[in-house]
Amino acid sequence: MTDKLTTRRKLLVGIGASSTIALAGCADGDGNGNGTTEPDTDTDTETDTETETETEPAQLRVAHMSPDAPNVDVYVDGSAVLEDVAFGAVSEYLSVSAGDHDVEITPAGEPDTAVFSGTVTLDPETDYTVAAIGEVSDDADQAFEPLVLEDDNSDLDDETARLQAVHTSPDAPAVDITANEGAVTLFDGVEYGQSGTVEVDAGTYTVEIRGDTEDDDGDVVASYELTLEGGTTYSAFAAGYLTPDDEPADTPFDLLVTTVDGRGPASEPESEGRLRVAHMSPNAPNVDVYVNGDAVLEDVPFGAVSDYLTVPAAEHDIEITAAGDPDTSVFSGPVTVAADTDYTVAAIGELGDEADQPFEPLVLEDDNSAVEGDQSRLRVVHASPDAPAVDVTAGGGDTVLFDGVPYGESGYVEVAAGDYTVEIRGDTETNDGDVVAEFDVSLDGEAVYTAFAAGYLTPDDDPADVPFDLLVTQDS
């Protein structure tokens, strides 16, 4: 039966490879491997052939749960039974003869480089999971090894589901696993490398992974919505790293769930970027901002800069409307967000038929990379619709920060941390034009700032009484 399990992260139970292998047992007698033995005979004496009862096989599957290991090949008694197995994948069960078997795990395509080699003993008519767990890196928290689990796949009634939980996250402490906001404790104090099985009523559960406490009420580190069908056995591997930034691989913690049919590899971590919005249109009302049809910011006034929003790396539909009036759109269009990149979408220009500059979003790629301890990074954005190109200086003109910045343009400069009097001047060849405004700005070390030159230079002559200002925000 195809499993309908889902999680909040949209995990789907995959269908594992359909390969099956039957490994021959050791041959007796004549070495023909047919399960019979022929005793010594005379040339003149007949003896009935004695047959041995053939032993029922075992069932074996393999799970790759080592978060920093490459794809692997799995050998049983020298024969490759699974190839190019990726992290998170769980094979279907393979039929193998009962008894001792030599199991070897190698990086995919490198049969001479074993990361594990050892013997696994299988009983007849028994199901097993061999999970590759731990880490292959030199500074491993947990050594790479196979975890051999005896699986209970016995029949269940149609109203009951079976859930096996396996702790394979090498940097995670012991955990409690609860359901429905802690109302039900499924597993108590499961340490790394341990597992447990519980039978529950079929249905949908919100499963919480918590740090182990005596009362099973620790902080929730992850939660998943699971639908468990009656008559079905599930295995849930708590895998990956709780803190991947501190570990040898960027493999985030996840709950990887499978049935007896197996599952494909874990999904690649979703690439993300960050996006924020700045309202720099001096005659626009407060606005609402929609991303892909969802309101993400509401009632944003002139001069406000939002916090960064984490969004998938992709093209997003951005719409800006008058606050509380979703049918009055002042801008609608796509914005592309690249992975691991920060953006500011600044609403600039003016509304109205007599606008000096049309209302539009100015999409800026932000440089929030690290800055040396005694340095600051400052960006200036020219968003004043009635101002000409400007020079930006400091210290009475002794320091030129920006030269000839026209409306809608921006630039970065790195300066020594400290207090500055920043002068906005009309653009001249020698950067010594008249000062139209000056502002005291304090810049901390290791920090990034954006200064928006916004509002009207001559508000009396423009459609809104919003005077020119330098609006400074700290980016990181």
For residue 303, pLDDT over 50 is answered with yes
d(C-alpha 380, C-alpha 368), whole Å: 14
Residue 48 tokens read as 């009935």
Residue located via tokens 């209970």: 152
CB 99 within 8 A of CB 25: yes
CB 61 within 8 A of CB 134: no
What pLDDT was estimated at residue 250? 87
Reported as a single tens digit per residue, the pLDDT across 177-212 is: 999 899 999 999 999 999 999 999 999 999 999 999
Mean pLDDT, residues 325-344 taken together: 91
Mean pLDDT, residues 120-132 taken together: 95
Question: What are the residue boundaries of the structural domains of the chain, listed by start?
Answer: 58-258, 271-366, 369-476
- Name the percent of the chain lying above pLDDT 90: 74
For residue 28, pLDDT over 50 is answered with no
Q: Give the residue among 38, 7, 63 at the shortest CA–CA distance from 264.
A: 63
Element at 473 (helix H, strand E): strand 469-474
Residue 328 tokens read as 């009055």
**Side chain identity at 281, as an amino acid letter?**
S
Distances (CA, A) of 193 to 88, 91, 146, 172, 367: 16, 19, 10, 11, 42
Tell me what the pLDDT averaged over the chain comes to. 86
Element at 131 (helix H, strand E): strand 127-133
Reported as a single tens digit per residue, the pLDDT across 54-76 is: 689 999 999 999 999 999 999 99
CATH architecture for segment(s) 58-258: Sandwich (2.60)
Domain 369-476, CATH homologous superfamily name and number: Carboxypeptidase-like, regulatory domain (2.60.40.1120)
Phi and psi dihedrals of 280, rounded to 5? Answer: -125, 25
The strand pair at 145-151 and 127-133 is best described as: antiparallel
Residue 436 tokens read as 């139209």
CB 130 within 8 A of CB 147: yes
For residue 475, pLDDT over 80 is answered with yes
What pLDDT was estimated at residue 269? 66
What pLDDT was estimated at residue 15? 24
d(C-alpha 245, C-alpha 251), whole Å: 9
Residue 192 tokens read as 């790394």
Decide if 271-366 and 369-476 have a common fold. Answer: yes
Residue 3 tokens read as 């499993």
CATH architecture for segment(s) 271-366: Sandwich (2.60)
What pLDDT was estimated at residue 328? 86
Mean pLDDT, residues 227-233 taken together: 96
Residue 263 tokens read as 């599952």
For residue 376, pLDDT over 70 is answered with yes
Query: pLDDT-derived band of residue 22, with 50, 70 and 90 as boundaries?
Result: very low
Mean pLDDT, residues 107-127 taken together: 92
